[in-house]
Structures are given as structure tokens and as C-alpha cells.
Chain A
Amino acid sequence: MRVNQISVFLENKSGRLSDVTRTLADNNINIRALSIADTIDYGLLRLIVNDPDLATQVLTDNGFTVARTEVLAVEIPDRPGGLAGVIDILAAKNLNIEYMYAFVGRSGDHAIVVFRIEPVEDAITVLQEGGMRILRGEELHSL
């Protein structure tokens, strides 16, 4: 039900992002979704990849600081109001979204949005009760 996301600390200097993507490419790791949270001096690159364990290992070996977090990948009807519907469900139960970003691929005729919500157990319950489908890691990676 939960998907492993890896976060990489990057200083804001040229070439660092390409160092990450190159490292992943060299190890045949596919990036499925990403987002960057940044400040003036540094950023956090959040990634969903097909092999989080290998990605963590090769990035750490190459000197990057990596953190792992569990996020939820939710199927969203790909039409106007699709995202609003999901967010309404969470808001009704006072669950805060820390951040979210879109997944590159699609699941049938659904879009996929990655959510970071605390506490994650409550979010799973609320979303499922609201009729939302949450993708498992393997499902996500096989898309």
C-alpha cells in the first residue's frame, strides 16, 4: 500500500542534479516520478524509482545523503475535479498534505498522484473509505 520514496540532499550548484540522474542511469534505474523542494542554498530531490533499495545504495556509495520515506500513490480520475475530489476527502477528515506531485505514467484511464500525509495509516483508511484506490509499490513500478 505504501511506496518507497527516496530523498536526496543537493546543494544548489550546477551539475549536481545530473550527477544523481547519471548515477541512476549507469545502474539501470528508472525514475518514475520526481519533485524538488528547494531553498536558496540547497534542495531536496524526491524520487520514486523502480528499485529504491539499489538506488539508495548506489547514491550513498557515490557520496549522496539519502533519506527514505513512505508515500501514497493514489489513482485519480483524469478529468476536471478529479484531484479536488481526493483533496476534499482528506480535508473533511482534517488530514494535512505535506506535499504531493504527479506521477509520470498512467494507470488505465487514471492519473496517479503521489501524496505525503501524516499519519499515513489514517490517510490510507480515509482514502479507501472514500473509494480511492491506492497503488502498491510493485503495481506502480510495473506500469
Chain B
Amino acid sequence: MYFWDKKTECMSLDELRELQGERLKNTVRFAYDNVPFYRRKLDAAGVNPEDIKSIDDITKLPFTTKEDFRDNYPFGMFAVPLEQVVRIHASSGTTGKQTVVGYTENDIGVWSEAMARTLSAGGTTKGDIVQNAYGYGLFTGGLGAHYGAEKIGASVVPISGGNTKRQLQIMQDFGCTVLCCTPSYAVLLGESAAEQGIDTSKLPLKAGFFGAEPWSENMRREIEEKLHIDALDIYGLSEVMGPGVSYECMEKAGLHVSEDHFYPEIIDPETGERQPDGYKGELVFTSLTKEALPLIRYRTRDVTYLFSDNCGCGRVFRRMHRVLGRTDDMLIIRGVNVFPSQIESILMEIDGTEPHYLIVVDREKGRMDQLEVWVEVSPKMVSDEVRKLEAIERAIVAELESLLGISLKIRLVEPKTIARSEGKAKRVIDRRDLNQ
């Protein structure tokens, strides 16, 4: 079994709980004193930082949501002045506004540590060459994996996403041993390697760390067969930190949460009531060491369950099952968060489009996720000329791609062909087979 920091990852449960309690007290006090939003929230809930004495007191605290980020856009959730913030990332919000997160130098250190644990758990050492095909940019995937690999002392190839041919060339020429990317991109790389006649069993590539989108055990098998590697699931979200919040060990049986930094809970999404380990519900995180953006009981909207039976690797950290679904309608497409409400707001702004649309997400074998938006044509859009329809299509595509940051296809369909349902319209068809 591989470890980055065995002493911490395998501390006793009592030590861990003690540490979590101590850190929770500090986090709540720090957030209360430095973020007006948290002060108001705790005051309204009648909770004083003094009331937090151990980790069990966490249930006294109110929840934080994605809407809170929107309401405090862009920097209202920060607990330190910008002079101390060394990095800013952002991800999609439910509407036009991005969810903005910030990091102090120390936060970047913790994040790197968490990613170093993640990569080490799959056997990455300083002797490895890490091909990092996560996108670099506002998305946390690229830089998160990058800093973790550097922390270990591995040689990082910051190739970023896309350009499959070059990826395979560099993979062979450099002798990359570790791959980081989304699972659907790993499948694509495997398929492309086969098409090009590359014998992946002869390559030094040994492990891959895949996350930022939902996947399945079937996909794991497919990736492992195609690339001849161990495929490990990693989890994270920018609000909590980025990739590395939880990670699989070589047992490949759930993701260990770095509980000394990120405290997980499962709640009933309807009542907000805490669920015991083993029960499915919404995953909630509290940061225990973050400075720039302390996070108190953040509702991730991801559905999973936690379990604490001893893992064969010996880590004390509880595991979460791979994410089973969402409590909202957010889609994750090629690592990018997409809310149907974002697409709807754009369509409403374009003259002549009908409010009837359907989002179709598909993952054909060996290809990346495809996003199609079906739009019913209206009498206003139709004329005797195809180029006018094509111009409307192009305008919609340009607006949506600019907002979402991913490529997509518009399909114009005949009126009344998108199913109307009673009450809430069905806006999304997700054909990806993710729960096996």
C-alpha cells in the first residue's frame, strides 16, 4: 500500500476526532470574526462560536449553499483581505454568475498536500512522469493535480486537455507513467491508442487518476483494459478546495475523505437531518483548515453515502461511495458544471426561440460527452431560406458556448415534438450510462 503521509492518514480515530474538534472550533471562530455572511448566519441560527466544543457540535451549525456564493459574488465569502489571496478559481453558478473561490498560500499548501495523498495512494512517487490532461485555467482540475504531483516531486507534463494525437505522442515519447484527466477522456485516449495501433501494454503508463465527472465501474474496467493501468476515482469541488477532497486507495472500494481538512456529513436533503454512516443522502462538507474561504456545512448537492468499516489499506479516513447522483438538476459534462437554468436563460434572450427545449447528454462509446440542445422552431424563426435558420443556430451556439465554456450542438426540431409533461417540464435526457 502506498502513502504520502502515513502518520496522518493512519492516525487513531480518537486522535482524528480530537484534531477535527480543535480545527472546527478554530474555523467557526475565524469565519464568524471575519466573514459578515457567516456572522449573520450564525447569529440568525442562535449559534455562538463558543457553543462549538467538539466535532459532534457541528450539527448545531447552519448550512451554506451555492446560492450563498451567488449572493456574495465575487469575494464576499472570503475571510482574508485580497493581499493574502494568492489564487482565484471559479466554476459555474446556477445563473450567469460564477461561483468564485480563493486561496491563501497556506490553502494552496493544504490542497497540494491533499492531492499528494491522492496521487500517492495510487502509487505515484517522485520517479514518475505525470501527464496532466486536466484543463488548466479557472477550472481547479489542472492546477490542483499539477501542484499535488509537484509536491510529490514527480515530473509534471502540463499538457492540459485536448489534442488527442499529441497526448498519445507525448505519452509514448516521454514515457509517462501516470495520467490525470476526466474518465471519458481516458476512454477516448484508450480508443484512439487502439486505432493508431499503439500497444498500451508496452507503455510504462501504470496508473490514472480520474474525476471531475460521474463515471462507473464499467468505465473503470474499460479504461483499465484499454490503457493497461490502475484507474482510480478522485473527487473534489472548487467550493471545498478542488480535486483531492477524497481519493481511492488501491483497494478501489470507495474514496477516502481527507477528514483532517474536509469534514464530511450526509444529510437528508429534504429535512437537513444528519444521516448515520451507510445511509444515502446529500454530501455536506465543512472545511477544517481553510483560510481564504472557510466553508461551514456546504451542501454539495451530490448524493452518496459514507462508510467507516476498516479499509484494507489501514487509513483512518472514512470512505464515500462514488457519487450516485444529484439533488438538483446540475449536469457535469466534460468536467464542466452545467445547469439547465443557464441554457434556458440564453434561449429566452434570443429573439424568436420558443421556450420549449430539451438538453440531451450522450456518451457514445469511445467519445467524449456530447451536449445537444434541442430547440423547437417557432413561426418567427422559419422563412424560406435555410441560411436564416443556420444563422439562428450559430447565434445560439455562440452564446451558449461562451457562457458554458464547452462545445455543443443545437438541433432545431419541429414544433410540439418535445414532450410536454404535467407540471415541471422534463428538460434533460441524460443517456450516459453512469450507474453500473
Contact assessment for B382 and A66 in the assembled complex, using a CB-CB cutoff below 8 Å = yes
- For chain B, which range describes its interface: under 10, 10 to 19, 20 to 34, or 35 or more residues? 10 to 19
The verdict on A9 contacting B382 (CB below 8 Å), with A39-B390, A41-B412, A42-B412 known, is yes
Contact assessment for A44 and B377 in the assembled complex, using a CB-CB cutoff below 8 Å = no
> Which B-chain residue is minimally distant from A10 (CB atoms)?
B414
CB contact list, A47-97 vs B, under 8 A? 63-67, 69
The verdict on A66 contacting B386 (CB below 8 Å), with A10-B414, A11-B413, A41-B412 known, is no
Alpha-carbon separation in the docked complex, A38 to B386 (Å): 7
> Which B-chain residue is minimally distant from A43 (CB atoms)?
B386
Contact assessment for A63 and B411 in the assembled complex, using a CB-CB cutoff below 8 Å = no
Contacts of B415 in A (CB 8 A): 63-65
Contact assessment for A44 and B411 in the assembled complex, using a CB-CB cutoff below 8 Å = no
Alpha-carbon separation in the docked complex, A29 to B415 (Å): 23
> Which A-chain residue is minimally distant from B385 (CB atoms)?
A98
In this complex, the member of A9, A46, A66 whose beta carbon has the largest number of chain B beta carbons within 10 angstroms is A9
Q: Which of A5, A38, A44, A66 contacts B379, CB < 8 Å?
A: A66
Instruction: Check if B378 is an interface residue, CB within 8 A of chain A.
Output: yes
A71 → chain B, closest Cβ, in Å?
A: 8
> Which B-chain residue is minimally distant from A42 (CB atoms)?
B412
A58 → chain B, closest Cβ, in Å?
A: 15
A64 → chain B, closest Cβ, in Å?
A: 7
Alpha-carbon separation in the docked complex, A66 to B386 (Å): 13
Q: Which of B382, B390, B414 contacts A67, CB < 8 Å?
A: B382
Instruction: Check if B345 is an interface residue, CB within 8 A of chain A.
Output: no
Contact assessment for A44 and B384 in the assembled complex, using a CB-CB cutoff below 8 Å = yes
Contact assessment for B390 and A44 in the assembled complex, using a CB-CB cutoff below 8 Å = no
The verdict on A64 contacting B414 (CB below 8 Å), with A39-B390, A42-B389 known, is yes
Contacts of A38 in B (CB 8 A): 386
Q: Mark B395-422, 1 if CB is under 8 A from A, else 0.
A: 0000000000000000111111100000
Contact assessment for A7 and B383 in the assembled complex, using a CB-CB cutoff below 8 Å = yes
> Which B-chain residue is minimally distant from A60 (CB atoms)?
B379
CB contact list, B194-253 vs A, under 8 A? none
Contact assessment for A37 and B377 in the assembled complex, using a CB-CB cutoff below 8 Å = no
Contacts of A37 in B (CB 8 A): 385-386
CB contact list, A11-47 vs B, under 8 A? 11, 16, 37-39, 41-44, 46
Contacts of B383 in A (CB 8 A): 7, 67, 69
The verdict on A44 contacting B378 (CB below 8 Å), with A39-B390, A64-B414 known, is no
A52 → chain B, closest Cβ, in Å?
A: 13
> Which B-chain residue is minimally distant from A98 (CB atoms)?
B385
In this complex, the member of A38, A42, A65 whose beta carbon has the largest number of chain B beta carbons within 10 angstroms is A65
Contact assessment for A7 and B382 in the assembled complex, using a CB-CB cutoff below 8 Å = yes
In this complex, the member of B377, B386, B390, B413 whose beta carbon has the largest number of chain A beta carbons within 10 angstroms is B386
Contacts of A5 in B (CB 8 A): 384
The verdict on A65 contacting B390 (CB below 8 Å), with A9-B414, A11-B414, A44-B384 known, is no
> Which B-chain residue is minimally distant from A45 (CB atoms)?
B384
Contacts of A16 in B (CB 8 A): 414
Instruction: Check if A106 is an interface residue, CB within 8 A of chain B.
Output: no
Alpha-carbon separation in the docked complex, A64 to B413 (Å): 11
Contact assessment for A44 and B385 in the assembled complex, using a CB-CB cutoff below 8 Å = yes
Alpha-carbon separation in the docked complex, A49 to B323 (Å): 58
> Which A-chain residue is minimally distant from B412 (CB atoms)?
A42
Q: Which of B381, B382, B417 contacts A11, CB < 8 Å?
A: B417
CB contact list, B353-389 vs A, under 8 A? 377-379, 381-386, 389
Contacts of B385 in A (CB 8 A): 37, 44, 98-99
A88 → chain B, closest Cβ, in Å?
A: 24
Instruction: Check if A2 is an interface residue, CB within 8 A of chain B.
Output: no
Contacts of B381 in A (CB 8 A): 65
CB contact list, B105-145 vs A, under 8 A? none
Contact assessment for A65 and B414 in the assembled complex, using a CB-CB cutoff below 8 Å = yes
Alpha-carbon separation in the docked complex, A116 to B413 (Å): 25
The verdict on A65 contacting B379 (CB below 8 Å), with A5-B384, A9-B414 known, is yes
Contact assessment for B384 and A7 in the assembled complex, using a CB-CB cutoff below 8 Å = yes
Contacts of B413 in A (CB 8 A): 11, 42
Alpha-carbon separation in the docked complex, A43 to B385 (Å): 10
Alpha-carbon separation in the docked complex, A66 to B415 (Å): 11
Contact assessment for A65 and B386 in the assembled complex, using a CB-CB cutoff below 8 Å = no
Alpha-carbon separation in the docked complex, A38 to B387 (Å): 10
A8 → chain B, closest Cβ, in Å?
A: 8
B419 → chain A, closest Cβ, in Å?
A: 14
Alpha-carbon separation in the docked complex, A64 to B416 (Å): 9
- Measured CB to CB, the residues of A under 8 A from B are 5, 7, 9-11, 16, 37-39, 41-44, 46, 63-67, 69, 98-99, 116
A-B contact pairs, 9 of them (CB 8 A): A7-B384, A9-B382, A37-B385, A44-B382, A44-B384, A63-B414, A67-B383, A69-B383, A69-B384
- Measured CB to CB, the residues of B under 8 A from A are 377-379, 381-386, 389-390, 411-417
Closest 5 CB pairs of A and B: A7-B384, A69-B384, A37-B386, A67-B382, A65-B382
Known: A41-B411, A44-B386. 17 other contacts (CB 8 A): A7-B382, A7-B383, A10-B414, A11-B414, A11-B417, A37-B385, A37-B386, A42-B412, A43-B386, A44-B384, A46-B384, A65-B377, A65-B381, A65-B382, A66-B382, A67-B382, A69-B384
